[in-house]
Amino acid sequence: MSPFRRAHRFTRTPRRAAAIARTPRGKARGSAQISVPPPCTTCPVTPVAVVSLSPRGGSARSPSVFFFHALSSSRIIWKLVDSKTGYLTRSGLYKGLALVAFAQQGKQPSDKLLENSESQELPVPALGDLSEVTLLAQRLHRGNPAKLNHTYSDICNLDTIEVNLVPEKKGIFLKHVEYQVTSKRFNSVVYRRYNDFVSLYDLLLARFPYRLIPKLPPKKIVGADSQFLEERRRSLLRFLTLIARHPVVSEDPIVQFFFTYTGDETQHKIRDVFRRVPDEFATSELSSRAKELMPPETLTEFANSRDQVRVILLGISRLKHIADSLAIRSHNYAVDMAELGNQLSTLAAEQHGTGTWVTGGSSLWQDMKKGFHVISKEFNLLSTRALQQAVREETMVCERLNLLLDILVAHRMLCERHERGVSADHQRALSTMLSLKKRQMQGVIRGTDADTVEYLENKMVSQESVIANVELRNCFSLLCLHMETQLVHAHLEILATVLQSLVSVQIRGHSEVNIASPRLTQVLHFSTKLSQNGKYSNFVNFE
């Protein structure tokens, strides 16, 4: 029987599979117990602690914990069930359990044993307490680097960033603005220029070419008005928020330096300290395991996920356009109501005399002017509430959609970098390695903060053989794409919160308008009624 058919036999026999999976206590006298994690078809196989396999009838002794590779029987079982793919399939698990049961009976594990037992019920291994193994399996699942295992709430808990514009411009001849940057995680408050953000972006893009690095807002040389500065402040806030909440990038010393350094000339200092830092592939512990960790369907799923993200990006862009239109309409409505109230106030304050020669003895205009004063207050109230509505729509809807758009665009840029190939990155890494060796031979690694850089460079030297493998670099790039795509999908929860906020904001806005409308309606209705009856004097007494 071929190995494929033997494996298939375990998957298509539910009764046998259930019997093997059961965990009887005290089944085999003198037999040791084994702890096996629950079946997992997605996690890479990691050696799991087992107990020595004492044969039936053997001398009773206390079980000793070993690893798979420490026991000859365990090594044989592992070779029989290992599919050479880095993954333990369900059928492989059932096959391994049966072989463990044979080993506990004192038999040498082999495929022949399974073939001879084809017509019989397979033996059931004696399993121990699985609580520790269950916890281990949970830790392995959470610690699997190919899985994000983060919800959007977990991502938000990584850090909270604030970016505020400093009112006073700096500089003697060339004035520039500064931003107050606050990080909750680092408990820090620092002041940064726009060029400091540019240095951070350049360093992160070189350090993490296979990660989501959002783009910076454009720089305006002259004529930066208040509206432009506010839009750029919001863009910088979104940029730092995505960086500070990235599970990998946020742990890098470059990010910590940016949020904590309080000296002068940050843009030059951060470049001087980290200009020699190699890219992530050269120092990551996942580089040598990239081919093993990369799911086999990555190439197909990458193309599908890219198309999916492209469709989502188009849809979110359209939603953002609609949200902007809502905010603009609310703002324009606020402006119109304010202008209407101002014009009525101007008419109410008109000082020209209204003698008999002008009015023919009628007091209509004087009464109307006093009514204009009352009505103008109602329109000003409508303007204030419409402006508040516009602010809520911008902050609770538009800005959140902008954050989602930023990470979607970052994913598109990441895919484009991957499509351009890793050859340029590979040549750059080899050049960095050669330059590093020359500096080490000359002994020139010196200066402040050199310990962090030297640690990364030493790590790079220890992985020289890995760095020289361009195939591993390509696998590492695909593995990072796999993880970054999961990060994008975690951020899609923003859309749900945006829709909830949109509904609540619209309900609140309409309710506030409804509160102000009855008063205005009463005033207008009463004035119209008085005009029809010719009783203009009562109009002025409506307070």
What pLDDT score does 84 carry?
A: 64
Could you tell me the pTM of the whole model? Answer: 0.65
CA 276 from chain centre, in angstroms, equals 28
Between CA 387 and CA 141 the distance in angstroms is 49
Q: Is residue 331 within 8 Å of 387, Cβ to Cβ?
A: yes
Q: Does domain 152-283 have CATH number 3.90.180.10?
A: no
pLDDT digits (tens, 9 = 90+) for 400-432: 999 999 999 999 999 988 888 765 665 666 666
Please, which pLDDT band fits residue 461 given cuts at 50, 70 and 90? low
> Per-residue pLDDT for 108 more than 70?
yes
List the helix and strand counts (H, then E) for the chain.
Answer: 22, 5
Residues 42-64, mean pLDDT to the nearest whole number: 40
Look up the CATH number of domain 313-350+362-533. 1.20.1270.60
Where along the chain do its domains lie? Answer: 64-126, 152-283, 313-350+362-533
pLDDT digits (tens, 9 = 90+) for 299-351: 888 889 999 999 999 999 999 999 999 999 999 999 999 999 888 888 888 77
> Per-residue pLDDT for 134 more than 60?
yes
pLDDT digits (tens, 9 = 90+) for 474-519: 889 899 999 999 999 999 999 999 999 999 999 988 888 777 667 6
CA 105 from chain centre, in angstroms, equals 51
Q: Classify burial at 87, counting beta carbons within 10 Å of its beta carbon; exposed 0-12, middle 13-18, buried 19 or more.
A: middle
Most confident region among 58-72, 161-175, 237-251, 518-532 by mean pLDDT:
237-251
Element (H or E) spanning 307, and its range? helix 298-348
Residue 176, beta-bridge partner list: 170
What pLDDT score does 253 carry?
A: 93
